[in-house]
Structure 1
Amino acid sequence: MTQVEVQNQSQPQAMASPSHQRGSSLTHPIPNSAQALQAEDFNETHLETGFFLNWTAASTVKQVTNGGQRARGVAPQGKTCEPQTDIVFLKVHKSASSTVMNILFRFGETHNLTFAFPVGGGFQLYYPHHFMAKFVQGFSPKSPQRFNILCHHMRFLQPEVQKVVPSSAVYFSILRNPVQLMESSFTYYKGASAFSHVRSLEEFLSQPHLYYDPSKGDSNYAKNLMTFDFGFNPNAEVSAERVQLMVKAIEASFDLLLISEYFDESMVLLKEMLCWDLDSVVSFPLNTRDSSTKSFLSDSVVEKIKEWNRLDWEIYIHFNRTFWERIDRDIGRERMEREVRALRERQAELARTCLQGTGGVAPKDIKDSSLRPLQYGSARILGYNLKQGLDKETEHMCRRLVTPELQYSSALYKKQFPPVPPETPQPTPSGQGSAPQHRLEDTQH
């Protein structure tokens, strides 16, 4: 039995009904039974705004063209296609999304693409607020300008997203098993209001409502984090109807949902959908924790996490199943194994070329401070050391592979929006006074 077959045997059953084939040209109609729920979602609380508006935007599936063909599925073997350069990536927290972001940064930089950066060069698009086009540096409702890649942290709201990217953009995101996601979130966001007064995740889960206050601005980190990032209400009642509506809304908006537990398989699907080459999706894991900060979870804690994050769990098991269905339909298990093997061999080759040692190292052992990732919460985030003596071209390639998200984002922002230097004062004839000075602090960057 192959490794992929073993993985697939363990896939759980979803509550929601199976989705239709992704390659269909049909739209996703909103069931009549959803109307009352949508009205409830729209008026219940601001947390539900995304549910209603994402449904409205997704009620008709967008057409994504690729040389005259829809880009919903992967390109058949032997067919030619054009690489996709207009991309929306919903960066879900703690789901290997920083590694995916590095892939997008490298591709965008290589092909001189534009990024939808947060205003002022920040790192999040006013998260945890629902995304709005005005959060993007350089956006103007009066200008037809659109950006190639939108990938910084945001809370998804498709009508606003569509204002800043071309209509041909490909949408994708990534999911993670909610059990491991919450364990990671607890460690990384230990300072959040829901977690700050407990010693362990088990203590929190013993009486979560004692510590969790949905009105707090950071409550999203403590319950149904993926549901929240997709724009829905993490505190909504769990029902088969709601789950089905959420799943259908996500399917209508996104062309592909990656699964972080099967990252290499996800990269194969991604490169096929985007018509990219192998090197474009090669990566080293970024923003990963030292294993010493990872907690063992008992069976009882695992079940409590699933129940506390029930909406996340239902989303995950549905798309975990359709992920493998898509592999079977579009690639096949044998070809997937070959593709994954080639990807891992290329990554191993690059690791031998680029890295000192065999992989990530503790923050204190990172020799180049510019390659040291942000340390946050109780986690210890690993980084890399590059080999010495690399030629200029190889060093540049290797450095891009290991540059942490914040440093890479800042560098690309400065490239896309260069700081305006102060004007050099010009000498003036005697008696005519001084030339007016350009004030850099008044310049909008």
Structure 2
Amino acid sequence: MINNSQEAEKKWRSCKPRTNIFFLKTHKTASSTIMNILFRYGESHNLTFAFPTIKYHYDYPNLFSTDNVLGFSTEKEQNYNIMCHHMRFHLPEVEKIMPSDTFYFTILRNPVTLMESAFSYYKDSSSFIRTTDIETFLKNPKRHYNKWMYDSGYAKNLMTFDLGINHNGPESEKQFKLLWRAVDAVFDLVLIAEYFDESLVLLKDALCWTLDDVLSFPLNLRSDRSRHVLSAQTEEKIKSWNQLDWQLYMYFNHSFWSRVENFGRERMEKEVEELRRRRAQVSEKCLDDQVEPHQLRDKSMVPYQPFSARILGYNLKRGLRREAYRLCYRLVLPELQYSELLLTKHLKRRVHLP
């Protein structure tokens, strides 16, 4: 008798790789690593990216508009395959850009660790700049938080805000259900940052890609010096302050594991093990170490450094051959530099089009 896992695997082997992809890049959720995967796949398969008019985001934190896409015009036919830069999601406008068969996905993270990370990364935002630590902010958040400020989303329900939903909205069981349904109706897959490798396997399966296509190293990681250990009391305050995000995360964490069950637990364990084996193999081939910015040998590989956090980068092994270097370099190339590289290639291609 064939079980669900075997049927799913048989179906995957006969499917066609998806190339029209929309990724909502939520903040501080391991989304930079996902973006690197999409950059590499799109580059290697000669796919077309929808680049923002502003270098690295679609006029965030304003709601997305077609005006934010470089070169887009309703007067001429254009084909975009991948959209993945930061935006505040607005489906009606996104649908004007992306094909009707586009695969939509995003990623969520536990709001507790997300807010601790956001406080460090966005310390210069209007809500956090006058507070010494996250505990001080949470003692009386309304003293520091102004919901009308353009950057208020960094300090409250950041994922809800990125999804284009009112992050200061009412909190009730009915509202939570409306939130779940709205996200569920749009996104074909919601990944969970805490189960990153399992998420990559589900993504690979949904897109009909291979494990090598989703192979990655963690990017945009903070140094330990930038991290802050939270008390149990502070964690509960974060959940309460970010209740919309918390309810969103709890719902999709549950649905994520339902999806894993359908995929097959045993099959999942095998694929995660294989993914980690390949990552370790490529790490041994490519990497010397992961270091603080001042320790990077190639200064062009320094990741963006925010107000107070220190973002780590990678030193590649010396003496790599050309093809190996190309792979290794792109695996660890920081988000802004990779986006710049792809944009340059895109503009050159446009110049040479008939």
Q: Measure, in 2, the Cα distance between the counterparts of 1:75 and 1:281.
A: 22
Aligned-pair CA distance for 1:150: 0.5
Instruction: Report the equivalent of 1:69.
Output: none
Q: Does 1:196 align with 2:125?
A: no
- For residues 386-401 of structure 1, what are the structure 2 equivalents within 5 Å? 386-401=316-331
Q: Does 1:402 align with 2:335?
A: no
Q: Does 1:166 align with 2:125?
A: no
Given residue 94 of structure 1, which amino acid in structure 2 is its aligned partner? K
- Paired residue secondary structure (1:172): strand
Instruction: Report the equivalent of 1:235.
Output: 168
Q: Are the aligned partners of 1:75 and 1:81 in contact in 2 as well (CA < 8 Å)?
A: no
Q: Does 1:362 align with 2:292?
A: yes
Q: Measure, in 1, the Cα distance between the counterparts of 2:350 and 2:199.
A: 41
- Paired residue secondary structure (1:78): helix
Q: Does 1:346 align with 2:278?
A: yes
- Paired residue secondary structure (1:264): helix
Instruction: Report the equivalent of 1:332.
Output: 264
Instruction: Report the equivalent of 1:30.
Output: none
Q: Are the aligned partners of 1:74 and 1:269 in contact in 2 as well (CA < 8 Å)?
A: no
- Paired residue secondary structure (2:316): coil
Q: Are the aligned partners of 1:87 and 1:169 in contact in 2 as well (CA < 8 Å)?
A: yes
Q: Measure, in 2, the Cα distance between the counterparts of 1:321 and 1:76.
A: 20
- Paired residue secondary structure (2:348): coil
Given residue 105 of structure 1, which amino acid in structure 2 is its aligned partner? F
Aligned-pair CA distance for 1:74: 12
- Paired residue secondary structure (1:417): helix
Match of 1:246 among 174, 179, 184: 179
Q: Measure, in 1, the Cα distance between the counterparts of 2:93 and 2:336.
A: 24
Instruction: Report the equivalent of 2:111.
Output: 178
Aligned-pair CA distance for 1:324: 0.2
Q: How many residues align structurally? A: 345
Match of 1:382 among 293, 300, 312: 312
Aligned-pair CA distance for 1:144: 2.3
Q: Measure, in 2, the Cα distance between the counterparts of 1:77 and 1:205.
A: 47
- Paired residue secondary structure (1:166): coil
Aligned-pair CA distance for 1:75: 8.2
- Paired residue secondary structure (1:385): strand
Instruction: Report the equivalent of 2:69.
Output: 136
TM-score, normalised on structure 1?
0.76
Instruction: Report the equivalent of 1:6.
Output: none
Given residue 53 of structure 2, which amino acid in structure 1 is its aligned partner? V
TM-score, normalised on structure 2?
0.95
Q: Measure, in 1, the Cα distance between the counterparts of 2:6 and 2:318.
A: 40
Aligned-pair CA distance for 1:291: 1.3
- Paired residue secondary structure (2:72): coil
Given residue 91 of structure 1, which amino acid in structure 2 is its aligned partner? K
Given residue 192 of structure 1, which amino acid in structure 2 is its aligned partner? S
Q: Are the aligned partners of 1:74 and 1:272 in contact in 2 as well (CA < 8 Å)?
A: no
Given residue 385 of structure 1, which amino acid in structure 2 is its aligned partner? N
Give the ranges of 4+ consecutive aligned residues of structure 1 lying more than 6 Å apart after TM superposition. none
Instruction: Report the equivalent of 2:151.
Output: 218
Q: Does 1:307 align with 2:240?
A: yes
Which runs of 5 or more residues in structure 1 are unaligned? Answer: 1-72, 422-445
Instruction: Report the equivalent of 1:441.
Output: none
Aligned-pair CA distance for 1:146: 2.6
Q: Measure, in 1, the Cα distance between the counterparts of 2:191 and 2:248.
A: 12
Q: Measure, in 1, the Cα distance between the counterparts of 2:334 and 2:224.
A: 19
Match of 1:125 among 42, 47, 58: 58
- Paired residue secondary structure (1:415): helix
Match of 2:45 among 68, 93, 111: 111
Aligned-pair CA distance for 1:420: 9.2
Given residue 381 of structure 1, which amino acid in structure 2 is its aligned partner? I
Work out which of the two has the higher radius of gyration on C-alpha atoms and give 1 or 2: 1
Instruction: Report the equivalent of 2:347.
Output: 417
Deviations 1:306-364 (A, max 9, x none): 000000000000000000001101x111111100000000000000000013xx21111
Instruction: Report the equivalent of 2:209.
Output: 276
- Paired residue secondary structure (1:384): strand
Q: Measure, in 2, the Cα distance between the counterparts of 1:170 and 1:420.
A: 25
Aligned-pair CA distance for 1:386: 0.5
Q: Are the aligned partners of 1:90 and 1:153 in contact in 2 as well (CA < 8 Å)?
A: yes
Given residue 316 of structure 1, which amino acid in structure 2 is its aligned partner? Y
Q: Name the CA shift for 1:207/1:248 in 2 (closer, same or farther; >3 Å).
A: same
- Paired residue secondary structure (1:356): strand
Q: Measure, in 2, the Cα distance between the counterparts of 1:152 and 1:306.
A: 27
Structure ranking higher in helix proportion: 2
Instruction: Report the equivalent of 1:321.
Output: 254
Q: Measure, in 1, the Cα distance between the counterparts of 2:86 and 2:133.
A: 27
Given residue 410 of structure 1, which amino acid in structure 2 is its aligned partner? E
Q: Measure, in 2, the Cα distance between the counterparts of 1:87 and 1:420.
A: 21
Q: Are the aligned partners of 1:243 and 1:314 in contact in 2 as well (CA < 8 Å)?
A: yes
Instruction: Report the equivalent of 2:21.
Output: 87
